[in-house]
Amino acid sequence: MKQSVLQHEKYIWQLFDDNQLRLLPKGNKVSYFSNNSSTRYMPANLINSGTHTITVPETLPTDILAKRGIVSGGFAEHTKGYYHSRKNKKFTDILCVTKGFLSVKYDGNKYKLKVGEALIIPPNRLCDSYVECSKTNVFWLHFKNNEYWNGIFGTEIQIKQFARFEDIHSIMHVYLNEVYGKRRSMLILESLADTLAELIKGEFVQFQRASKIELYERFTDMLSEIERNPDKEWKSKDVAKKLCISVKRLDEYCLSHTSQTFTKFVLKTRMKIAFEMLKSKSLTISEIASRVGYSTPFSFSRIFKAYYGQSPKNLLI
């Protein structure tokens, strides 16, 4: 299916094709790092038109970023109503919030990214990102779908707090200023591109080197915290985000270490603690329900009976 670009009174432009839906409202601004094939689907009347809606620099003698496996990059100011649903085949998409919040939805779950948090979308993974607040600023980088970068980023969609966010953000700004400058230096741009690629790689390679040990330690710490605080609202998507893994991988990890999914582990922990509390006969059902994370004695009693086959009242007799 060919791309279809439509005009709408609310949007500057809309793009539909087999792999993406993109809605760009009025007031949005996008600044590209390079003038290459990644900008060719943009409406020509919006590029360097004087409105600064979409800006691209003059073409460089060589595509400096492409030499590092970076297909494209730049900054964007998005207003409320911006929406992008995509499944990219040619690159890993990295978006990092620099102002406001970015809403994200994938694998049936919704997240809200804050400043310094990055969204990593590997090739052929479906993900939606959109803006619900008045303005959200991001920088983005598209890394080529190749063995080198795929090995660094992996195959799962991730949300990651960049440890060196300020450094990466600064390098991005310096690159932007240099590539749009009247006397831009290829030497400076080459150096900045190398630094940028190494900083991004460092965010992932450093984590991967100790990932098995660190993930196991963080995972066991999380299990212990559930046992210490069964009253907290334990959601799979929140724990997965904290561990920098997908919900699917969280369940796989739980199954391999506890023989249960995450949700069932939380339930088992709560029921075990509740059972011991009931046996002690020192607390009421209402007090026990609150201590193991249930808002009402009724909901606790219903789940307890479904789990053990008897009402909690029977243990108090």
What is the tens place of the pLDDT at every residue in 78-136?
999 999 999 989 999 999 999 999 999 998 889 999 999 999 999 999 999 999 999 99
Spell out the long-range contacts of 14-19 with Cβ–Cβ below 8 A and sequence spacing 24 or more: 15/41, 19/86, 19/87, 19/88, 19/89
Cα–Cα distance between 203 and 164 in angstroms, integer?
Answer: 8
The full DSSP string for 2-65 is: --EEE--SSEEEEEE-SSEEEEEETT-EEEES--SGGGTTS-GGGBTSSS-SEE-PPPPSS-HH
Q: Is 76 helix (H, G, I), strand (E, B) or coil?
A: strand
User: Which pair of structure tokens corresponds to residue 291?
Assistant: 């201590």
CA separation, residue 154 to residues 122, 145, 149 (Å):
7, 11, 8
Please give the span between the terminal C-alpha atoms of the chain, in angstroms, as a whole number: 69
Task: List the structure tokens of 289.
Answer: 């329900």
pLDDT tens-digit readout, 210-267: 456 777 888 889 999 999 999 999 998 888 877 777 788 888 889 988 889 999 999 9
* CA atoms of 142 and 70, how far apart (whole Å): 6
pTM, whole model, 2 decimals?
Answer: 0.67
For 107, the token pair is 């694998």
